[in-house]
Chains A and B, each alone.
Chain A
Amino acid sequence: SQQGEEDPQALSIQEGENATMNCSYKTSINNLQWYRQNSGRGLVHLILIRSNEREKHSGRLRVTLDTSKKSSSLLITASRAADTASYFCATDADAGGTSYGKLTFGQGTILTVHP
């Protein structure tokens, strides 16, 4: 079963607006990662947040993590047309030393930013 589930499945906004995407997961994690994918191309890593962290920033990106609710959010501020892409969360489950690094991806949020 999918560990990470993104919400919404699709998001359409105007340039300059903020975009918020949410991710829920089911089991304890070591870390949670967000990736971006432009149509049909390889995934690009955005931010990694560890289970003992609550918030991280990178440029216009802000990620929060609430381990009590098993959820994370990705906020893109002042969005641009170039931010149009699919965004995925991926969880690295805290399942013991033999399974490190096994990322489980959600189905993604398709973000469209209109100029």
Chain B
Amino acid sequence: EAQVTQNPRYLITVTGKKLTVTCSQNMNHEYMSWYRQDPGLGLRQIYYSMNVEVTDKGDVPEGYKVSRKEKRNFPLILESPSPNQTSLYFCASSFYRTEQFFGPGTRLTVL
């Protein structure tokens, strides 16, 4: 089944404790992206990647890191999480300028 998977789905952590949210797709898409969704602010793009080893900042990259060492994986890293990074995170992937396929979301709470 074609899909985008994210892990974990739910995470509660404390300020400053490094964490990684994984994202994997099995559709051979070149493009992958991370978004965060907050009430009243809609979806905002954090980082995106147009192919292996090619990444670029989205609209809200501060406090996040990404890497794209393999085509199928695009992990999101929070080196020192803070409470303002409490949010619902989505990973998405697509071919060149086509519909994006979204993962199920990761609900992160930083205490």
Task: Report which A residues bind B (CB closer than 8 A).
Answer: 2, 30-31, 33, 35, 40-45, 48, 88, 90, 92, 99-108
Whether B102 pairs with A101 at a CB distance below 8 angstroms is no
Whether A100 pairs with B50 at a CB distance below 8 angstroms is yes
Which residues of chain A have C-beta atoms less than 8 A from B103's C-beta? 42
Interface residues in B, total, Cβ within 8 A = 30
Given A100-B50, A100-B96, A102-B58, also A45-B101 (CB < 8 A): yes
Whether A92 pairs with B42 at a CB distance below 8 angstroms is no
Whether A42 pairs with B102 at a CB distance below 8 angstroms is yes
- 5 CB < 8 A contacts A-B: A42-B105, A90-B100, A92-B97, A101-B96, A105-B35
CA distance A78 to B7 in the complex (A): 38
Which residues of chain A have C-beta atoms less than 8 A from B99's C-beta? 33, 45, 48
Which residues of chain A have C-beta atoms less than 8 A from B33's C-beta? 101-103
CA distance A48 to B94 in the complex (A): 13
Which residues of chain B have C-beta atoms less than 8 A from A44's C-beta? 102
Q: Which residue of A lies closest to B91 (CB)?
A: A42
Whether A40 pairs with B105 at a CB distance below 8 angstroms is yes
Q: Is the interface of B mostly helix, strand, loop or mixed?
A: strand
Given A2-B42, A107-B40, also A101-B105 (CB < 8 A): no
Q: Which residue of A lies closest to B98 (CB)?
A: A48
Task: Report which B residues bind A (CB closer than 8 A).
Answer: 4, 31, 33, 35, 40-45, 48, 50, 56, 58-59, 88, 90, 92, 94, 96-105, 107
Whether A43 pairs with B42 at a CB distance below 8 angstroms is no
Task: Name the contact of A101 in the complex, choosing from B40, B42, B97 (C-beta under 8 A).
Answer: B97
CA distance A2 to B41 in the complex (A): 9
Which residues of chain A have C-beta atoms less than 8 A from B45's C-beta? 102-104
Which residues of chain B have C-beta atoms less than 8 A from A41's C-beta? 104-105
Whether A105 pairs with B50 at a CB distance below 8 angstroms is no
Whether B102 pairs with A103 at a CB distance below 8 angstroms is no
CA distance A108 to B28 in the complex (A): 29
